[in-house]
Amino acid sequence: MSNLPSEPEFEQAYKELVSTLENSSLFQKNPEYRKALAVCSIPERIIQFRVVWEDDKGQVQVNRGYRVQFNSALGPYKGGLRFHPTVNLSVLKFLGFEQIFKNALTGLNMGGGKGGADFDPKGKSDNEIRKFCCAFMSELGKHIGADTDVPAGDIGVSGREIGWLFGQYKKQTKLWEGVLTGKGGSWGGSLIRPEATGYGLVYYVEHMINYASGGKESFAGKRVAVSGSGNVAQYAALKVIELGGTVLSLSDSKGSIIATTESGIDAEMIEAVAKIKVDRKQLADVAHTSEFSGKVRYIDGARPWLQVGRVDVALPSATQNEVSQEEAEGLIKAGCKFIAEGSNMGCTQEAIDVFEAHRKSNKGSDAVWYAPGKAANAGGVAVSGLEMAQNSARISWTAEEVDSKLKDIMRNCFQNGLETAKTYLTPAEGEFPSLVAGSNIAGFSKVAAAMKDQGDWW
């Protein structure tokens, strides 16, 4: 990659995958997979385009739009659209690269892709956002389709934006098809899609806790630190509460709220956070209201990890690189035993190294156990895949049916990573298997084998 412009986020994701493959017996057992890695690390296609739209003052604005169609060996490209000023090609390549293997771990027929624009929805009117969505889809719509590429929402793209994007796609193609997921429930969306990433994250960690404790423990009584305050964080927190845990924190780009009572952040407070996030407001706007007063403290400019005191479980659910080496060490000192990423690449490589070193040097319940986002947060794209299946069959499943399928998928994600780690790394007696290595190897191996069968490498 030395002849390319610097792409730090993509390079981090690539090196994280490669390091675990190299430190396993995968290439000794399958030396030809090195060629698969070289092929797989280059996107099949990158689409870049300008998005010209008119603001409420009648002034023309322009943004950069992207779609990285990374790998279609297992099915149509699948991955979200992100509208955020930090969006660039490096960020989208990292997200698309991770998406390939995350989608593989679900067991569903989905390839990997990602897209978006450097458009900032904050401070924009509904009319301006709608105009931008229509302009964006006017170009993106030429390159996607139900059996080609099926985007979904991501940061800055909620169900409302999906509706506007879908409407524009339908107008210009005259097709009503499952070209986007995260649609409205009355026109092709799946039940529990908004909840799926957060719910799936907690279901995954349930299996970690159950395995580590020999079936003796659950979320009941656990103190859980959560970062972020969007869909993933909200629904992860609600599921933790439902299962008997205590939520210690939520955060956004400006700061964190930290629970100051033993009951923690409750469901009513999470509902209040959800309402302000729809209006694109900050946690600081509600931290001192009557609903929160005396129950939380607001810390400006801080992430929650070093602020929550004793903690059992950490769920980074905001954005990439939100847990540093120092914060990883602080979490271990605070008693954290389980950390699983609701965000994509939520931990820096240095933080992962801290967690993995602690896992290897401590046995059983004394060790911290880390799960990567490509496995732990796969619930969102899994239910997107289930939405695609419902659209193809023109049927709708109940919330209970979808939730049951989601639980099965998250159990399989955990078991697949666990057993693959045992096969290719052989943990020492009493050592928890590496879920990051096992998940990387399992996802990569599945994609590599499909690519070979299809003649992409040989």
Sequential DSSP letters for 29-85: H-TTHHHHHHHHTS-SEEEEEEEEEE-TTS-EEEEEEEEEEEE-SSSSEEEEEEE-T
Which positions ≥6 away from 368 have C-beta within 8 Å?
Answer: 331, 332, 336, 337, 338, 339, 355, 358, 359, 362
List, for residues 193-240, the tens digit of each pLDDT value: 999 999 999 999 999 999 999 999 999 999 999 999 999 999 999 999
Do residues 291 and 268 lie in contact, with contact meaning Cβ atoms separated by under 8 Å?
Answer: yes
Give the Cα separation of 152 and 133 in Å (integer): 13
At residue 419, does pLDDT exceed 90?
A: yes
Residue 327 token pair: 């914060």
Sign, CA torsion 311/312/314/315: negative
Compute the C-alpha angle 55/121/70, nearest 5°: 115
At residue 397, does pLDDT exceed 80?
A: yes
Give the pLDDT of residue 4: 72
List, for residues 92-140, the tens digit of each pLDDT value: 999 999 999 999 999 999 999 999 999 999 999 999 999 999 999 999 9
Is the CATH number 3.40.50.10860 carried by domain 43-173? yes
Tell me: is residue 197 an annotated ligand-binding position.
yes
CATH 3.40.50.720 domain position(s) in the chain? 195-376
Query: Can you name the residues that pair with 52 across neighbouring β-strands?
Result: 62
Which positions ≥6 away from 31 have C-beta within 8 Å?
Answer: none
> To the nearest whole percent, how much of the chain has pLDDT over 90?
93
Give the pLDDT of residue 273: 96
- Mean per-residue pLDDT over the chain, rounded: 96
**Structure confidence at residue 61 as a pLDDT band (50, 70, 90):** very high
Which positions ≥6 away from 202 have C-beta within 8 Å?
Answer: 219, 236, 239, 240, 243, 315
Give the pLDDT of residue 214: 95
Q: Can you list the positions of beta strands (E) in 200-269?
A: 223-226, 246-247, 249-252, 255-259
Tell me: is residue 99 an annotated ligand-binding position.
yes
- Return phi, psi of residue 25, to 5°: -95, 10
Give the pLDDT of residue 368: 97
212: nearest Cα among 418, 357, 412, 378: 418
**Structure confidence at residue 378 as a pLDDT band (50, 70, 90):** very high
At residue 1, does pLDDT exceed 80?
A: no
Tell me: is residue 78 an annotated ligand-binding position.
yes
List, for residues 299-341, the tens digit of each pLDDT value: 999 999 999 999 999 999 999 999 999 999 999 999 999 999 9
Compute the C-alpha angle 319/323/328, nearest 5°: 160
Which of 356-365, 370-379, 399-408 bottoms out in mean pLDDT, i.e. has the lowest? 356-365
> To the nearest whole percent, how much of the chain has pLDDT over 70?
100
Tell me: is residue 172 an annotated ligand-binding position.
no
Q: What is the number of other CB atoms lying within 10 angstroms of the CB of residue 61?
A: 16
**Structure confidence at residue 2 as a pLDDT band (50, 70, 90):** low
Tokens 């996030």 label which residue?
277
CATH superfamily of the 195-376 domain: NAD(P)-binding Rossmann-like Domain (3.40.50.720)
Residue 380 token pair: 């969102």
Do residues 308 and 248 lie in contact, with contact meaning Cβ atoms separated by under 8 Å?
Answer: yes
Tokens 């569903």 label which residue?
108
Do residues 135 and 53 lie in contact, with contact meaning Cβ atoms separated by under 8 Å?
Answer: yes
Decide if 114 is catalytic.
yes
Exposure of 365 in the CB half-sphere (CA atoms within 13 A): 8
226: nearest Cα among 303, 289, 334, 280: 303
Give the pLDDT of residue 134: 98
Give the pLDDT of residue 316: 98
- Return phi, psi of residue 207, to 5°: -70, -35
CATH 3.40.50.10860 domain position(s) in the chain? 43-173
Tell me: is residue 131 an annotated ligand-binding position.
no
Q: What is the mean pLDDT of residues 282-295?
A: 91
- Return phi, psi of residue 69, to 5°: -95, 95
Answer with the residue of higher pLDDT: 265 or 428. 265
List, for residues 64-103, the tens digit of each pLDDT value: 999 999 999 999 999 999 999 999 999 999 999 999 999 9
Do residues 246 and 290 lie in contact, with contact meaning Cβ atoms separated by under 8 Å?
Answer: no
Tell me: is residue 153 an annotated ligand-binding position.
yes
Compute the C-alpha angle 362/367/373, nearest 5°: 130
Give the Cα separation of 117 and 104 in Å (integer): 26
Which of 151-160, 273-282, 311-320 bottoms out in mean pLDDT, i.e. has the lowest? 273-282
User: Which listed residue (15, 57, 114, 374) is catalytic?
Assistant: 114
Q: Considering the entire predicted model, what is its pTM?
A: 0.94
Which positions ≥6 away from 395 have C-beta within 8 Å?
Answer: none
